[in-house]
Amino acid sequence: MLLFKNIKQLLQIRDKNVKYVKGKEMKELPSISNAFLLIEDGIIKDFGKMEDCPQNIDAEIIDAKGKMILPSWCDSHSHIVYAGNRESEFVDRINGLTYEQIKERGGGIVNSAKRLQETPEEELYQQSKIRVEEVIALGTGALEIKSGYGLTPDAELKMLRVIKKLNSELPITIKATFLGAHALLPEYNGDKDKYLNLLINEVLPIIKEENLADFIDIFCETGYFSVSDTEKILKAGEKYGLKPKIHVNQFTAIGGLQMGIKYKALSVDHLEVMRDEDIEALKNSDTMPVPLPGCSYFLSIPYAPARQMIDAGLPIALASDFNPGTTPSGNMNFVVSTACIKMKLTPNEAINAATINGAYAMGVNDKLGSISRGKIANIYVTKPISSVDFIPYSYGSNLIDTIVLNGKIIK
Ligand code: NIG
Ligand code: FE
């Protein structure tokens, strides 16, 4: 047992059954001042005011005076499994090329795929493990990871097996998403159907057999995959029990978002380009919109209109999009800060978006995302700080003092 005492503020206390928070509810971050938190067998057992703190129990006691405790970040969108890096494209952009122009020159996703195809599975695992350990140290306790840098059946399956191994070897909760339809390799000579059929007929059955994915994704975007490609993939995913979480409205709005909603997508992600009708479509759905501010920051593209979405009564979740091309960072504290600074979210809204709503967007809200009795004890303790607002305010600092995953302190 682990007992934290004298916690300055215990943040994000929720009934276990709260699925997500939306609209005005996002302004509230329920908390207890001068609190205790008791963890047993990896689970949050109890919490409350210090005057009700259990006495004389056989637990390791930690004094958290001046410090705050939050549920770990739930990062519902990442491509953290990849080989090598793409810093030369970063320099190309500084010198004036756009993301699209770099793609036309053979860079972009296909560039990462070439590297990944040549990288043995164990080497890919080792490279990726370093990054997952890095985000654990930054306070992430749940992480969704996509395939999509393989782009051949073998390489896609290699990625998914690496994700599965990361999940079994590391203390963080990981969910896997099959993003075979991320880009088309030049060797297909533009024959998208041939590639999609391969994914549907050859890869999906193996994914099912080896239990390699929880969700299905597609990059629905001009120059990548169309809305009808999206329908084809989502329909196939549905047959195999894979809920959609899809890339839409990053550079152009072409109706992929509506298709996602039609197939009951758990989330629609990116949303840098949103029309009024896209915001309307999200109302009365259970699909979580997921802006990725780190991507907008790194590519200098518009930020998703998160403020407008919340004001329209929608929920939002925030995620990192950690990947070698558009967001080489999985720092969720930076994501939360950037959402406050660039999207005008309040600190409470941004923290809700990166915890409880993030948990929903990756299907783990019954286990993670809030301080609730019975949820998994994935939490972090801050250094002594003045207020919760200080967390996004100090955008470049690491404020983490102690990390607990599955009830165990991570060294
Ligand atoms: O989410 N937008 C599509 N996919 C990734 C980036 C892909 C890449 O450039 O490697 C994203 O931003
Ligand atoms: Fe992405």
Q: Report how far apart, in Å, the C-alpha atoms of 200 and of each of 143, 180, 301 are.
A: 25, 10, 33
Cα–Cα distance, 92 to 333 (Å, whole number): 28
Q: DSSP letter for 20, please.
A: -
CB atoms within 10 A of CB 191: 11
- Average confidence score pLDDT of the chain: 97
Q: Which atom of ligand 1 is nearest to the CA of 295?
A: 12
Choosing from 75, 79, 97, 116 the residue with most ligand 1 atoms within 8 A of its CB, the one to mutate for a pocket test is 79
Question: Percent of the chain having pLDDT more than 90?
Answer: 99
Contacting residues for 196 by C-beta, under 8 A, at least 6 apart = 181, 229, 232, 233
State pLDDT tens for residues 307-341. 999 999 999 999 999 999 999 999 999 999 999 99
Among residues 172, 126, 201, 74, the alpha carbon closest in space to that of 405 is found at 172
In 240-313, alpha helices (H): 256-262, 276-282, 293-299, 306-311
| Distance from Cα 384 to the centre of ligand 1, integer Å | 37
| Ligand 1 in reach of 320 Cβ (< 6 A) | no
| Distance from Cα 202 to the centre of ligand 2, integer Å | 24
Residue where the block lists tokens 């097996």: 161
- For ligand 1, atom 1, name the residue with the nearest CA: 321
Contacting residues for 275 by C-beta, under 8 A, at least 6 apart = 253
State pLDDT tens for residues 192-250. 999 999 999 999 999 999 999 999 999 999 999 999 999 999 999 999 999 999 999 99
Q: Which atom of ligand 1 is nearest to the CA of 270?
A: 1
Strands 43-49, 31-40: pairing is antiparallel
| Distance from Cα 325 to the centre of ligand 1, integer Å | 6
Q: Predicted confidence band at 352 (pLDDT cuts at 50, 70, 90)?
A: very high
Q: Is the pLDDT of residue 106 over 90?
A: no
Q: Which amino acid is at 15?
A: D
- Is the pTM here over 0.85, yes or no? yes
Cα–Cα distance, 248 to 78 (Å, whole number): 15
Sheet of strand 243-248, all strands in order from the earlier edge strand to the far edge: 73-75, 140-146, 173-181, 215-218, 243-248, 267-270, 288-291
**What pLDDT is recorded for position 197?**
98
Cα–Cα distance, 47 to 49 (Å, whole number): 7
Question: Percent of the chain having pLDDT more than 70?
Answer: 100
| Distance from Cα 38 to the centre of ligand 2, integer Å | 36
Cα–Cα distance, 117 to 409 (Å, whole number): 36
Note the ligand closest to the C-alpha atom of 222: 1
Q: Report how far apart, in Å, the C-alpha atoms of 350 and of each of 160, 192, 259, 339 are.
A: 30, 38, 27, 6
Q: Predicted confidence band at 25 (pLDDT cuts at 50, 70, 90)?
A: very high
Q: Which of 92-106, 174-188, 308-322, 352-366 has the lowest mean pLDDT?
A: 92-106
Residues 46-62 have a mean pLDDT of 96
| Ligand 1 in reach of 31 Cβ (< 6 A) | no
Q: What is the dihedral of CA 23, 24, 27, 30, to 10 degrees?
A: -100
**What pLDDT is recorded for position 394?**
97
Ion ligand 2 neighbours (CB, 5 A) are 321
| Distance from Cα 113 to the centre of ligand 1, integer Å | 12
Cα–Cα distance, 135 to 393 (Å, whole number): 20
Q: Is the pLDDT of residue 172 over 90?
A: yes
Among residues 360, 399, 393, 353, the alpha carbon closest in space to that of 380 is found at 399
**What pLDDT is recorded for position 327?**
98
Q: Which atom of ligand 1 is nearest to the CA of 112?
A: 10
Cα–Cα distance, 266 to 281 (Å, whole number): 14
Q: Which of 69-73, 105-109, 173-177, 379-383 has the lowest mean pLDDT?
A: 105-109
In angstroms, the first-to-last Cα distance of the chain is 17
